[in-house]
Amino acid sequence: MAEPVYILGGYQTDFARNWTKENKHIMALIREAVIGGLAETGIDPREVEVGHVGNFAAELYAMQGHLGAFLVDADPAFSGLPTSRHEAACASGSIALLAASAEIEAGRYDLAMVVGVEQMKTVDPKTGGDYLGTAAWYEREAEGVEFPFPKLFGKLGDEYDKRYGLKDEHLAHISAVNYSNAKRNPLAQTRSWYMTEDHANSTDKFNSIIGGRIKISDCSQVTDGAVTVFLASAKGAAAYAKQRGIDLAKLPKILGWGHRTAPIEFTTKVAESAGNEYILPHTRRAIVDAFDRAGVSGVADVDAIETHDCFTTSEYMAIDHFGLTKPGESWKAIEDGTIELGGKTPINPSGGLIGAGHPVGATGCRQLLDAYKQVTNTAGDYQVDGAKKIATLNIGGSGTTSCCFVVGH
Amino acid sequence: MRKIEKVVVLGANGTMGAGSAEVFAAGGCEVILLARSADKAQAGLEAAQGMAKSTTIGSLMKAGSYDDDLEKAVAGADLIFEALAEDMEIKKEFFARVSKARQADSIVATVSSGLSITEMAAAGDASFAKNFLGIHLFNPPNVIVGTEVIPHAGTDAALIDPIVELLENRFGRVVTLCRDLPAFAGNRVGFKVLNEVAQLAAEHGVAYMDYVVGPYTGRAMPPLATVDLVGLDVHKAIVDNVHANTADEAHDCFALPAYVQKLIDNGHLGNKTGALGGFYRRVKENGKNVRYVLDPASGDYRAPTDAVVEPVPFIEEISKLHRVGRYREAMQLFVEAKGKEADIARKVIFGYVSYALNRVGDGEVVREPRDVDRIMGFGFNWAPPTVLADIIGHRETIAQIEKYGLQVPAVLAKAAGDSPLFREPNVNIGRFFSA
C-alpha cells in the first residue's frame, strides 16, 4: 500500500490579469503564486522539502527555461531546495503533481510544493497558436497551419459526428455553461465577459470560425496564470493538522490517479481507436485507472468533475469517457442538465478552461486546487453542495497525454 | 426588492450611453436606446454589440428617438438611465419629461461623473426625486467595473441596498457608495492627483512628471497620459467643479494650471483632438507613431529626442523589483530613496494616500476605506490607498505623510498596526504595481 498523498491547499492568481501589460517577468507569476500559497496555507517555507514546476513552453513565450530554479528565487528559505520542471503540453501541471505524488508515495519527502505556470500574452494570437502547435507533431500537424489546435479538436468533433452524430448546438451549450459558471468564480478570466447560448450558436464576425467546426465561443482562452498546490505525506499532513488544531481526517487526499499517453498524431489515434466505442480509449483508460485506484466504482460516485475543455469538443468527449453517458451519447447529459451547476454531476463548476482560463502549464494544478476547494467546501459561489469526491481530467495535445485524479476524503 | 428588467438609456449614441446599454443587456435586461434620431440610437446599439463582441446581444435592444419614443419607452421601464451630455440644463429638461411619463415605482439614474444629484433630483416630482440616484459607470463601462452609487438626501433608503446588490451580482459591478459631494469619490481623489501632477509639470516638464509618478508608483498608465485619454476639457470640468464647491485640505491642488487652460482654449483636448494633441501629440512619421511632448512654458511640442528624461536610479531599481514580483522591497526602496525625484514622487503618492483616506468618515464622501479602495482600484486601476499603506507599513506611511506636511487620516492613525487594511480576498495586489 502506497503512502497516501494529502492536499494541504494552495493558491491561484487572478486569471484575468495580463502580466505583459504589467510588464512582468514570469518570475513575478511564480513568486505571487508561491507567496500566495504560503500565506493561504500558513506553511513555513522552511518546511517545504521539494519543489516541482509544471510548464509547457516558457522557452518560447518568455525566452526562459530551467523554471524549477525560479522556485528557489521565490523565498530565501528555498535556497538549496531540490526542484525540477515538467512538461507534457497542456497536461504539464498534472505531470508535475504526479511527480510530487510519486516522491511522497515513495517516502522521499513529506511536504512538496507544486507550481503550475504559463505566461502566454507575451505574443500575438497567431504566434501563440503556432507555439501551441508544438504540443502536436509540429512538422506533420502544425507547421504552416494557422491555429492548428482548434483544427485538431474540430476533427475530434468530426470523428464523433462520423461515428455517432454530433450537433453543434450541444457544443454551444457546453460553452454557455462554462461561461456561466465562470461568472461565479472571482478568479476566472471571463467573469465579466458577455456570453449566452444564443451567441455561442451564432456565426458571424463576432463568433467566427477558427478551424473546422470550432468557433471562437468553442475555444478556451489565452491566459497568464500560476497556481500553487501543497502535497504532503501522512506524516507531513499530520504535522500540518496538529499545528492548526484540525483533524487529519478533514484534509483531503488524492484518492486515485490515472496517466496514459496515446500516439501523438491525431490521425494515428483515430485509426487506432477504429472499432472502439471510445474515440480516445487511452483517455478512458486513464479515467478508469484513477477510479480503480480510488476504489470508486464509477462516475456515479463523484460529485463533480473538473475537466479539460480546451475546446467544447474535448468536454463533449469527456462526458462519455467519464461514463456519464454511453459512448456517443454525451448529448444526453447536456440536454438533461446533468453537467450544470445544480445538476447530477456538474462539469467545471469553476468555468473550466473556456470560462476560468487556460494558462497551459497551470491548468492541471488549477483543476486539483479547485477539486480541493470543492471537497473542503471553500469554493464560494461555485461550490457544489455537499461535494465529497471530485474527479479531474487534464489532457496534453490532441488527446495525447491524459491525467486523471480523484480527490476526496 | 425592485426588479430591473426593462431599461431605457437616454443619450445612447454616446460612449457612456452605448456602454451602459451593453452592461444592462449583458445582465439580461431589455434595453431601449434613445437618441436625437433613431439612426443615432442605432449607432449606439451597434457600438454596444461591438463592446459585447456579439450580434445576438442586439436581440435585447431596440433603438428609438426622443421625439417618437421617449414617453412610451419611459412609461414601460423599470430603470431610466440618463447618459446625456454633462450639462445640467439639458439633463433637467429631459428629467422633467421623464418625471411626467414614468411609472411611480420606476428607478431613475444618472451616469453623471460629478454634477449635483440633489439638483437633478429636483427636476421632477416628489416620486421622481424619491426614486432618483446617481449610478456612475466609468469609461468604458463594459471593461471598467468600478461603479459609484450616489443617493441624494431624498432618495428612498429602501432602494439603495437592492440597487447595490443588483449592480454587483447581476451586472458584475464593484460598487462604491458615495455621498452627493462634488465629483464623488473616484474623480475627487483621482483628479486631485492628476491635476497636482499637471501643476508640477509646469515647472518640471510633462515627460519628466509622467516618469517620476509613473506606473511604478502603482498605476496602469502615467498621470498626464491619463488626462490626454480622458480629455483636457473633461479634466477641467471636474477640477473646476471641485475647486469651486469644496474647501478641503488640498484645495490648491484643484486649481487648473494656466498652461492647461491655454491648451483647452486652443482646442488641444488630448487624444480626441489627434492632430493637435494635449500633453502629448501623436504624429505619424515615415509610417511610425512618434509621440511629441508638450513644453508647458512655450506651448510647443518637442520631438521625443529633445524631451528625453534621464533615468533615475531608484525608479529603475523599483521597476526591476516590480518586474519580478518583489513589491514590498520595491516600495521600501521608494520610501528610502534620496533626491529631488524621490521627494516629488513621495509628496504626490503620500498626498494621494492621505487625501483618499481623509475622504472617509462622517460628513465625508464615503463611509469605509474599502469604498475609496474599490473605486481607485477598479475605476482608475491605481493601487488603492490601503494597499500602499499596507505594503509600506502603516507607521511608515504616517511618518511619510507627516514629513510632507500632509494630514494624517484618522482611519490610518487608528489602524496604525500590522493587520492589513485592504481586505479584498480575491484581489491580487501585484496587479497594481506595473514595472
pLDDT tens by residue, B245-272 = 999 999 999 999 999 999 999 999 999 9
Residues B285 and B246: beta-carbon distance below 8 Å: no
ipTM rounded to 2 decimals? 0.95
Confidence (pLDDT) at B267: 97
Confidence (pLDDT) at A2: 75
Q: What's the rounded mean pLDDT across residues B383-405?
A: 97
CB contact under 8 A, B434 and A17: no
Confidence (pLDDT) at B418: 67
Three-state DSSP at A82 gives coil
Residues, chain A, total? 409
Which residue in chain A has the smallest CA separation from B51? A194
Grid cell, residue A261, equals 499517453
- Alpha carbon distance B315, B217 (integer Å): 9
Chains A & B: contacts with CB separation below 8 Å: 85
pLDDT at B22 over 60: yes
Three-state DSSP at B389 gives helix
pLDDT at B416 over 90: no
Q: What's the rounded mean pLDDT across residues A371-386?
A: 98
CB interface of A with B, residues 296-315, below 8 Å: none
Backbone φ and ψ for A362, nearest 5 degrees, come out as -95, -15
Q: What's the rounded mean pLDDT across residues B306-315?
A: 94
pLDDT at A1 over 70: no
How near does any CA of chain B get to the CA of A344, in Å?
25
- Alpha carbon distance B254, B256 (integer Å): 6
Paired sense of beta strands B174-177 and B146-151, if any: parallel
Smallest Cβ–Cβ distance between A22 and the set B54, B145, B434 belongs to B434
pLDDT tens by residue, A113-139 = 999 999 999 999 999 999 999 999 999
A-chain CB neighbours of B143 within 8 Å are 192
Which DSSP string corresponds to A122-191?
TS-HHHHHHHHGGGS-IIIIITT-SSHHHHHHHHHHHHHHHHT---HHHHHHHHHHHHHHHTT-TT-TTT
- A264-268, B289-293, B415-419: lowest mean pLDDT where? B415-419
Sign of CA pseudo-dihedral B346, B352, B355, B361? negative
**Alpha helices, DSSP H, located in B359-409:** 369-378, 385-392, 394-403
| Backbone conformation region of residue B38, classed left if phi is above 0, alpha if psi is from -120 to 50, else beta | alpha
- Of B384, B27, B370, B21, nearest to B173 (Cα)? B27
- Alpha carbon distance B28, B18 (integer Å): 15
Q: What's the rounded mean pLDDT across residues B344-353?
A: 98
Sign of CA pseudo-dihedral A159, A162, A165, A167? positive
Question: Partners of B360 in the beta sheet?
Answer: B366
Confidence (pLDDT) at B306: 86
Q: What's the rounded mean pLDDT across residues A132-149?
A: 96
Mean pLDDT score of chain A:
97
CB contact under 8 A, A196 and B56: yes
Confidence of residue B423 (pLDDT cuts 50, 70, 90): confident
Confidence of residue B2 (pLDDT cuts 50, 70, 90): confident
Q: What's the rounded mean pLDDT across residues A202-214?
A: 95
Q: Is A326 on the interface with B (CB under 8 A)?
A: no
Q: What's the rounded mean pLDDT across residues A64-92?
A: 97
CB contact under 8 A, A196 and B52: no
pLDDT at B26 over 90: yes
pLDDT at A378 over 60: yes
- Alpha carbon distance A213, A200 (integer Å): 12
Grid cell, residue A6, equals 494529502
pLDDT at A305 over 80: yes
CB contact under 8 A, A192 and B172: yes
pLDDT at A3 over 90: no
The residue type found at B92 is K
pLDDT tens by residue, A157-169 = 999 999 999 999 9
Select the residue from B23, B31, B54 to test the A interface by mutation, using most A Cβ atoms within 10 A.
B54
pLDDT tens by residue, A229-260 = 999 999 999 999 999 999 999 999 999 999 99
Confidence (pLDDT) at B1: 61
pLDDT at A84 over 70: yes
CB contact under 8 A, A28 and B54: no
Mean pLDDT score of chain B:
96
Confidence (pLDDT) at B307: 83
Q: What's the rounded mean pLDDT across residues B103-113?
A: 95
Smallest Cβ–Cβ distance between A194 and the set B54, B145, B326 belongs to B54
Confidence (pLDDT) at B52: 96
Confidence of residue B417 (pLDDT cuts 50, 70, 90): confident
Which residue in chain A has the smallest CA separation from B57? A199
pLDDT tens by residue, B125-177 = 999 999 999 999 998 999 999 999 999 999 999 999 999 999 999 999 999 99
